[in-house]
Structure 1
Amino acid sequence: MAAVAEAWKETLPVIMNRVTGVGVWTALKSSVPVALEEDSLVLGLPGSDSQLIGHLKLPQVRSAVESEMGRRLNQRINLIVINGTTEADWETEKKRQVERRKLQDQALARQKAEIIAGKSWDTIYEQLSRKHAETQNRSLPQNRARYFQEAIEIVADALIETPINDDLAERNYARCLERIAQYTELPSTFVALKVLEKSFAG
């Protein structure tokens, strides 16, 4: 890191000439090179100056640091700014980044699951409507009963394949139950009970 620290010391005046603002200059002068990992240059600010971090993340400041330090070190540079000036602070920040990525991945996975579940239950809802439209003499009780059996099987199979694990899926599932109840003139709670019995029975 000695070479990087020396490069920063010599390049700092050039960088400061490219940017304006007392806050920006103060942030740059307070910055300490912490690490150079591949193309990532890590600059840290002491805890007492943490309020200045935003200045270093400004596009014009980032551009000046990356281009001038890249020219000095003869490599591509990607600036990372952290709170703290030690390698331990950088290790802590890396752990935070991993955790943030993990949370983002989990959120994305949940979002995808919700979309898939929503589409799945929308498809079932449409299938129930088509099945009812195809039922001959559907006003007759025996034909409503036949539709009821087929509809229960459709929803029970879907419940096994697409478990209810979020609020959106719960609501779309309920829509399907209400649709069957509407078509068969049966209580929706009774419909739900029959679906559960069928799904547990396999």
Structure 2
Amino acid sequence: MVDVAEVWSEALPAIKDGVTGVGVWTALNVSVAIKYEDGNFVVGVPYRDQELAGHLRLPQTKRLIEQEVGIRLNAKVNLRVIEGTEAADWETEKRRDAEKRRLQEQAVARARAEVAAGTSWDSVYEQLSRKFAATPNRSLPQNRAQFFMEAIDLVAEALSKTPVADDFAERQYARCLERISQYTELPSTLVAVKVLERTFQG
């Protein structure tokens, strides 16, 4: 098992030789090596000295620390500077990391779903436009009625394949309903009712 305190103690003189400035030196002096885990060399700064942590995160200083520690561990390392100097503080930091990853994954999944929903409903919207443009004698009520029935089928089928699961999809769906309403001069609420009826009928 790696004795991180010993590694840090051995690396410090070489690190100090490569940096200048009271702030960096002070930060190095108050820092405590906590753990070497999954390629991360974890160094903690006491809570009372957190303003010094930024000195260790400066790219030039960070690279130097990683280089000197890496030489002694015979491995490529990534420096992690955290608040606190105890193992429990590193566990807390890992939980924060996990939560950040979870939120990022949620955001990515949500963005992908929005793109998929947007693409799907955009396609339906364009199909409605083309279908109405291809309707002969659109001024005649019977032909608009025929378009209406076909449009309801189209949107109902899309609704069954692309459930409305969020606000973005809700707006895209409503946009299609409004398009049918505009073309047929029927209330959009009635259009929505007909789509739902058709969806339930399968």
Structure 2 length as normaliser, TM-score?
0.94
Q: Out of 63-72 and 130-139, give the one that drifted further.
A: 130-139
Partner of 1:15: 15
Q: Out of 146-155 and 50-59, give the one that drifted further.
A: 50-59
| Inter-partner Cα distance in structure 1 for 2:180 and 2:127 | 11
| Inter-partner Cα distance in structure 2 for 1:76 and 1:87 | 22
| Aligned residue pair count | 202
Q: How does 1:89-168 map to 2 (within 5 A)?
A: 89-168=89-168
Partner of 1:179: 179
How far does residue 172 in structure 1 lie from its aligned partner after superposition?
Answer: 1.3
Contact 2:125/2:176 (CA < 8 Å) preserved in 1? yes
Q: How does 1:44-55 map to 2 (within 5 A)?
A: 44-55=44-55
Partner of 1:43: 43
For residues 115-173 of structure 1, the C-alpha deviation after alignment (integer angstroms, 9 at most, x for no partner) is 11111110000011111122122221111101100101111111121122222212211
| Inter-partner Cα distance in structure 1 for 2:172 and 2:20 | 55
| Inter-partner Cα distance in structure 1 for 2:27 and 2:201 | 67
SS in 2 for 1:164: coil
How far does residue 25 in structure 1 lie from its aligned partner after superposition?
Answer: 1.8
SS in 2 for 1:80: strand
How far does residue 2 in structure 1 lie from its aligned partner after superposition?
Answer: 6.6
How far does residue 79 in structure 1 lie from its aligned partner after superposition?
Answer: 0.8
Partner of 2:25: 25
| Inter-partner Cα distance in structure 2 for 1:39 and 1:133 | 62
Alignment-mate amino acid for residue 9 of structure 2: K
Which blocks of at least 5 consecutive residues in structure 2 are unaligned? none
Which blocks of at least 5 consecutive residues in structure 1 are unaligned? none
* Stretches (4+) displaced over 6 A: none
How far does residue 14 in structure 1 lie from its aligned partner after superposition?
Answer: 1.5
| Inter-partner Cα distance in structure 2 for 1:21 and 1:123 | 61
Alignment-mate amino acid for residue 165 of structure 1: A
SS in 2 for 1:51: helix
For residues 40-87 of structure 1, the C-alpha deviation after alignment (integer angstroms, 9 at most, x for no partner) is 101111111122222221111110110111112221111111111111
Q: Out of 95-104 and 160-169, give the one that drifted further.
A: 160-169
Structure 1 length as normaliser, TM-score?
0.94
SS in 2 for 1:7: helix
Q: Out of 37-46 and 116-125, give the one that drifted further.
A: 37-46
